[in-house]
Amino acid sequence: MNCRRWERWLALDVEGDLPEPRRGALERHLRECEACAALAEELGASQGLLKSLNADRVPDASLARVRRDVLPRAAALQASPDWRLRLERAVMAALRPRYAFSAVAVVLAVGALVVSGLVPGPAIEPAPAPVAAVTADTAIPPVERPPVPPPIESPADLVESAVATASAQPETAPVSVAVNAAPLLDPRPTPVVDTVAPAAVNADRPPTVVKLVTDDPNIIIYWLVDSGEGGGA
Amino acid sequence: MEPRAHGSSLDSRIYWMSGTRPEDRAPDEAAMAALVVRAAQGEPAAFEQLVARNERRVLTLAWRLVGRMDAAEDAAQEVFLRVFRYLHRFDARKPFVPWIMRITVNVCRDVARERRGYPDSLETVEARSGEVAPSDPRESPQDVLARGERRAMLRSALDGLPRKERAAIVLRDVEGLSTREVAAILRSSPATVRSQISSARLKIAKAIRRMKDPKS
């Protein structure tokens, strides 16, 4: 039979901690269960032993040691209490204890908030961007660079070059070519070069040429800005 | 040092602090409250008397909670220093003894965490201090031996209890406090304390049974 519940009740009943309605049920169970009746006897014996500990007296020598050490330390504490204790005692002396304790807690909390707002915290540096390190045991073959176009002599040449590039593309939409010439970690915005259809270029007025120099000396970007209606690009 | 004479001004201060008229309190409690007020005002003699009135209670409880006398002495010192330090926080409307017992339980919890070891029996403590309590002349040497053996088993069983159960059963069954008082000291509910003492009593009874008869 599983008597776990009865055991818990027995352990309470041995010192009169079991509520009255349960005692009747427990007594009926004890008349039927020998194991629980034996446990009740053991509990009575161990409780008697526990209570006998109350008669133990600590030696006077131990008491004397405690007193000898405590009193000088308390006197030293009394002579030089730290500022928090002094403040707390002063507030407590002025107010009733239960209110003073809350008041001190509020004052300390507000003080901590004010101090944390006034004192600048340490500068937080942005975390460095992840950099991929590539190592290779074998020699890396040289990368073939695309042929560098000849330098453009004049805006007219530039227009011709743009027309030639655009004609190689379908004529239905302007072509956008994004050139990311900056290194991986360069925070500057990516320059974008749009070549437009020849019809958009005002042939009467020469376009403004913007020359973008990238970190790579082999890449120079020219930006044609149409000064006429419709803006640049 | 002679304690300063305090007349009606002290009584009125106790009444002001506690909200209880001095004549309405138990004599010992009223005397303790007066000592607390004077000690909180910084009177060394009052604190000394507070220590003298409570040292045995604190040291005994600490010994029962931590098991070793050297650790209990350290705990008792720390208890009185905390009392001195935080006396101004004590609500004088309430009795002093439960407050100091709560501090003792808290300090012993820290001490027991740091210092573990085999518990000292009364006989060991007495032998170490050279103060042996007079035994009952009706007891035979065999009886004395058997009693010492049973108590050693009990201390060992107590030492094996979880910290909270040990505190609950020491306060309830050894110190003789009510379940409600134990709950107040442990800042717990009476139902929780009942559960803890029930579990602890069963463990102790079964541990003693095993020690007597290892086959059981």
**CATH code of the domain covering residue B55:** 1.10.1740.10
Polymer length in residues for chain B: 216
**Is residue B46 situated within a structural domain?**
yes
What are the two backbone dihedrals, phi and then psi, of residue B111, each rounded to the nearest 5 degrees?
-65, -45
From first to last of its 216 residues, chain B has per-residue pLDDT tens of 333 334 444 444 444 444 445 455 566 778 888 888 888 888 889 999 999 999 999 999 999 998 888 899 999 999 999 999 888 888 877 889 999 999 999 999 988 777 666 566 656 655 565 555 556 667 677 777 777 788 888 888 888 899 999 999 999 999 999 999 999 999 999 999 999 999 999 999 988 888 877 766
Q: What is the spatial distance between Cα A51 and Cα A44, in angstroms, rounded to a whole number?
A: 11
ipTM, two decimals: 0.73
Selected for mutation to probe chain A from B104, B124, B173, B203 (highest A CB count within 10 Å) is B173
Burial class (CB in 10 A: 0-12, 13-18, 19+), A14: buried
- B48 closest CB neighbour out of A51, A71, A88: A71
- Buried-exposed string A206-226: b where 16+ CB fall within 10 A, e elsewhere: bbeeeeeebeeeeeeeebbeb
pTM of this structure:
0.59
| Residue B94 and residue B172 share a domain | no
Does the residue B81 lie in any domain?
Answer: yes
Does residue B98 lie within any of the structural domains? Answer: yes
| Whether residue B200 sits in one domain with residue B112 | no
Report the pLDDT value the prediction gives residue B150, as an integer from 0 to 100: 80
Would you state the torsion angle of the CA atoms of residues A7, A12, A18, A21, taken in this order, to the nearest 10 degrees? Answer: 10
How far apart (Å, rounded) are the C-alpha atoms in residues B121 and B156? 9
Contacts of A62 in chain B (CB under 8 A): 59, 69, 72-73, 125, 129
Residues in B touching A61 (Cβ below 8 Å): 129-131
pLDDT number for residue B53: 93
pLDDT at A194: 47
Q: Which of B202, B203, B210, B211 to mutate to test the interface with A (most CBs of A within 10 A)?
A: B202
Residue in chain B lying closest to A98 (CA): B91
Smallest Cβ–Cβ distance between B174 and the set A46, A53, A74 belongs to: A53
Question: Both B43 and B106 in a single domain?
Answer: yes
Mind giving me the DSSP string for A135-195?
Answer: --SSPPPPPPPPPPPPPP-SHHHHHHHHHHHHHTS-TTS-EEEE---S-TT--SPPPEEEE
Q: In this structure, are B14 and B111 located in the same domain?
A: yes
- Interface with B, mutate which of A5, A18, A50, A83 (most B CBs under 10 A): A50
Q: What is the tally of structural domains in chain B?
A: 2
**pLDDT for res B122:** 58
Query: Are B131 and A73 inside 8 Å of each other by CB?
Result: no
Give the phi and the psi of residue B147 in degrees, each rounded to 5.
Answer: -65, -45
Q: Is A37 on the interface with B (CB under 8 A)?
A: no
Say if B122 falls within a structural domain: no
Check: CB of residue A222 under 8 Å from CB of residue A152. Answer: yes
User: For residues B71 and B52, is the Cβ–Cβ distance under 8 A?
Assistant: no
Of the candidates B96, B55, B167, which has an alpha carbon nearest to the alpha carbon of residue A58? Answer: B55
B72 falls within a domain: yes
Domain boundary among B101, B117, B133: B117
The set of residues, in sequence order, having a beta carbon less than 8 Å from that of B171 and lying 6+ positions away, is B61, B101, B105, B177, B181, B182, B185, B186
Consecutive sets of 10 residues in chain A, 233 residues long: mean pLDDT of each? 86 90 91 93 91 86 92 84 71 63 78 75 55 48 58 53 50 43 46 46 66 77 66 41
Residue B58: predicted pLDDT: 95
Which pLDDT belongs to residue B17?
43
Report d(CA A2, CA A6) in Å as an integer.
Answer: 9
Tell me the CATH number at B186.
1.10.10.10
| Of A7, A77, A97, Cβ closest to residue B84 | A77
B189 vs B168: CA distance, rounded Å: 11
Q: Say yes or no: B100 and B184 in one domain.
A: no
Contacts of A73 in chain B (CB under 8 A): 77, 81
Q: Which of B91, B117, B143 is the last residue of a domain?
A: B117
Q: Which has the closest alpha carbon to A166: A228, A217, A233, A229? A: A233
Mutate to test the interface with A, among B89, B124, B172, B196 (most CBs of A within 10 A): B89
Q: Between A and B, how many CB-CB pairs are < 8 A?
A: 143
Amino acid A150: pLDDT: 56
Q: What is the DSSP letter of B132?
A: P
Q: Closest CB to B201: pick one of A47, A66, A97.
A: A47
Buried-exposed string A26-53: b where 16+ CB fall within 10 A, e elsewhere: beebbeeeeebeebbebbeebbebbeeb
Mind telling me how many Å the CA of B143 is from chain A's nearest CA?
14
The answer to the question of residue B205 being in a domain is yes
Distances (CA, A) of B176 to A19, A49, A196, B198: 19, 13, 98, 15
The answer to whether residue B132 sits within a structural domain is no
pLDDT of residue A192: 47
**Cα–Cα dist B83/B66, whole Å:** 19
Q: Name the domain boundary from B117, B152, B174.
A: B117
Which value, to the nearest 10 degrees, does the dihedral of the CA atoms of residues B153, B158, B160, B163 take?
-170
**pLDDT at residue A220 in the model:** 79
DSSP structure class, residue A226: -
Domain that holds residue B193: 160-216
Q: How far apart are CA B164 and CA B170, in angstroms?
A: 10
**Same structural domain for residues B164 and B108?**
no
Q: Is residue B198 one of the residues assigned to a domain?
A: yes
Residues 52-91 of A with CB under 8 A from B: 52-54, 56-63, 65-67, 69-71, 73-75, 77-78, 85, 88-89
Answer yes or no: do B177 and B77 share one domain: no
